[in-house]
Amino acid sequence: MAKGIMIRSTLVMGIGGIVNVIFDYVLIFGFGPFPAMGLAGAAYATVLSWAVIFLLMMMLLVRESLLSLSFFMDIRQAIKDLRGMLYVAMPAIAAQLLNPIAIAVITRIVSGYGEDAVAAFGIVTRIESLILVGILSLSVVMTPFVAQNFGAKHWHRLDKIVAHAGRLTVYWGIAAFTVVALFPQTIMTLFTQSDTVVAQGVDYFWTVGLSFPMFGLLLITTSFLNGVQSPRTSLKLTMVKSLGLTIPLALLGSYWSLEGTWVGLSIANVIGAWYAYKVLNRWLSEHGSTLPNQSIVNDYKSDLMFWSSGK
């Protein structure tokens, strides 16, 4: 993406997501020659989707001449380059590992309510990944944009990136919630005919979906911090969200009911977004930005007036 190969790299990730959704259904519930494997099927589907992504990405790297053995000819330079990359990469890798850990723990919590609950959680999280793909994609492409302008000391552009990305994630989240709130049963019945699984999935969409507008704020903040060479702060944000909010609140909610677990996840998204907002504003203020002093409400009012005018 940093080289400008946006469409094809994004397409590869999209193909991986589609493979995941299809084989989740096939391997969890069974279809044709594939037996029903339940939770194990979801795991196999995830591994398969990432294998497809890996192979397609390797093909893309070779085609664009981005993968070469010449990198290893000068060992000293290679080590120096790797050290610089790992300064940002290692915290980012650790942050990426926290998400599947959190999902695994939540799945274990949900499993206390039976196989139907696990199936419902597997389906809704895959649908969630697809319907929020715009936010996920934005968080990925933000880092090179931010890094370029940070290196060039174009502070006003950083302000614009934050302002536009923040509002876009909120609008996308509102649109995503509108879709799952209006057609929850229709969406769920595409993947299962079980009334119990459908009902549990509908509850998830209505409860966690309310936090979709907040979902992307932490993602774009961590991407921004990686771009401005603050990977440890980015990792701290992810740790607070995953280990300090998502898991404890989901566990707390599960003591009441499965719906309580969904409420815990939703609250974690909201509090995590608020914390990310505070951390981001602190960084901007320390670097002389006037953005934290501006009213967010005025930006949304301006957008609303622009849309209502039909321009």
Rounded mean pLDDT, 162-185: 91
Which amino acid is residue 140, in one-letter code?
V
Domain boundary pick from 34, 65, 96? 65
d(CA 154, CA 119): 48
- Taking Cα atoms as reference points, which of 288, 248, 283 lies closest to residue 268? 248
Same domain, 59 and 92: no
Residue 298: inside a domain: no
Name the token pair of 55.
């192979």
Residue 136: inside a domain: yes
Same domain, 53 and 141: no
Name the token pair of 134.
């715009």
Residue 308: inside a domain: no
How far CA 309 is from CA of 167, 266, 290, in Å, comes to: 19, 34, 28
d(CA 250, CA 105): 9
**Rounded mean pLDDT of the chain?**
84
d(CA 206, CA 127): 14
Under the banding of pLDDT at 50, 70 and 90, the label for residue 110 is: very high
22-26, 139-143, 200-204, 293-297: which is most confident:
200-204
pLDDT at 207: 94
Confirm if 259 and 203 have CB atoms less than 8 A apart.
Answer: yes
Same domain, 30 and 94: no
Residue 73: inside a domain: no
H helix runs in 112-211, sequence order = 115-131, 133-151, 155-182, 184-189, 195-208
Residue 307: inside a domain: no
Same domain, 32 and 110: no
Same domain, 177 and 284: yes
Confirm if 44 and 23 have CB atoms less than 8 A apart.
Answer: yes
**What value does the CA radius of gyration of the chain take, rounded to a whole number of Å?**
21
Task: Specify the DSSP class assigned to residue 194.
Answer: -
Domain boundary pick from 65, 88, 107? 65
For residue 60, give its domain range: 1-65
Domain count across the chain: 2
What is the residue-wise DSSP string for 7-45? HHHHHHHHHHHHHHHHHHHHHHH-BTTBPP-THHHHHHH
Q: How many residues are given for the chain?
A: 311
Same domain, 174 and 209: yes
pTM of this structure = 0.74
Same domain, 104 and 243: yes
pLDDT tens figures, 58-91: 888 777 766 666 655 666 766 776 777 777 677 7
Which residues on neighbouring strands pair with residue 179, listed in sequence order? none
Same domain, 87 and 212: yes
Same domain, 35 and 135: no
Task: Specify the DSSP class assigned to residue 310.
Answer: T
Residue 218: inside a domain: yes
Same domain, 228 and 109: yes
pLDDT at 77: 67
Residue 309: inside a domain: no
Residue with tokens 């974690």: 268
Same domain, 184 and 159: yes
Task: Specify the DSSP class assigned to residue 193.
Answer: -
Say yes or no to pLDDT of 273 above 90.
yes
Ranges 114-128, 131-145, 156-170, 291-305: which has the least confidence: 291-305
Q: At what angle do helices 258-286 and 212-227 cross, to 10 degrees?
A: 40
Report residue 272: phi and psi, to 5°: -60, -40
Ranges 34-43, 194-203, 293-302: which has the least confidence: 293-302
Under the banding of pLDDT at 50, 70 and 90, the label for residue 297 is: low
Residue 153: inside a domain: yes
Same domain, 85 and 38: no
Domain boundary pick from 38, 65, 92? 65
d(CA 258, CA 111): 10
